[in-house]
Amino acid sequence: MSLPLQGVRVVEFVHMVMGPTCGLVLADLGAEVIKIEPLGGDHTRKLTASGAGFFPTYNRNKKSLAVDLKSQEGRDIVLKLIGSADVVSENFRPGAMEKLGFGYAALKKVKPDLVYCSHKGFLAGPYEHRTALDEVAQMMGGLAYMTGGKDKPLRAGASVNDVMGGMFGAIAILAALYQRQQTGQGQEVKSALFENNVFLVAQHMMEALMTGKPALPMTERIRAWAVYDTFTTADQEKVFVGVVTDTQWKVFCEAFGRADLLADPSLTTNPQRVEARPRIIPIVTGIFGKLTKQQVMDKCERLGLPFAPIATPEDLFDDPHLKASGGMTGITLPNGRKTQVPILPIEMDGQRFGARLDLPRIGQHTRELLAGLGYAPQEIERLVRDGVARAA
């Protein structure tokens, strides 16, 4: 089956998470994504600790062209490559691409149909020249407050703004490519961390308006449902269980022998049950406390009640659903170890999108790409020998 974006060429100047995520989405869907790297490689390759997973997660299905952008010959190579591309994607600090001569205003003059995507900290406005990180956006955008509270704001446990910012960048690129079919013209599109974060927190902004009360952080908020909690089981494990509809409440009460709760007129509706949480939760806690984790999960699954074991990221490597559904794809880590990484969480006509190209080595595709641009073999070797380009 041909891939949706087959034939689309993307040149990306990216590092860290947001820009690479955008390229990953396009690459997994079939675009040829060419990663422009300095001769020493994208510095994300060298991150350790909490950044160690960035490069292997967001850079499969890409080609690597390593080139010295400080040299005129290096810039000429990249300009020639861009001339063959449909899309340029970048996520460097404001003004960095313009200094290199690769800003949208300059490239538009030589390639009017180019779609140019910038991933920044902020869209146009008073903050647009600030440097931002995911954590900066979460702190100033209300997400850290909603997660941890005013006295101990806490960033979400994943790079949510970076990842979603890259996704929105990909959406904007696809919209611009579709519009180009009608107009013949490219355009500049942008995605940003702060605005992405505000979009995430919008539900809490509206909650405050609708209720007339300040939105409480997760550590303090009243649940929207009477049973929507994590419970400790008889074997001292933990399971999250939700009972979120009147039908589920009926199923729960009947299955666990609490006809008295079902018959109680003060517990007929969800708002009533939310008010009665101080009475309900100890009862539910007692019920689940007599069962093992597996017994709770088996029973909830039979009943159709929402439930979840409390998993760690490492647990997901052995998740039976991910294994059976093809939710992981194989890659080779820089140290040579073979492993699996999650793929895009979408399906098209029954098809999932995995790895076609492994993680690229620095400059792995330099010779191939230069040859495709018309450089003769001896000229390619001279560029490599002179340090203008690097080939793996």
The DSSP code sequence of 149-206 is: -SSS----SS-HHHHHHHHHHHHHHHHHHHHHHHHS--EEEEEEHHHHHHHHHHHHHH
d(CA 177, CA 340): 32
Q: State the catalytic residue, choosing from 162, 260, 298, 349.
A: 162
Q: Has 162 been annotated as catalytic?
A: yes
Residue (of 372, 367, 379, 361) closest to 83 by Cα position:
372
For residues 290-312, one letter each, b for 16 or more C-beta atoms within 10 angstroms of the residue's C-beta and e for the rest, the string is ebebeebbebbeeeebebeeeee
The DSSP element (H or E) to which 23 belongs, if any, is helix 18-28
Q: How many CB atoms lie within 10 A of CB 330?
A: 12
Rounded Cα gap, residues 278 and 229, in angstroms: 13
CA 283 to centroid of chain Cα atoms: 39
Residues with catalytic roles: 162
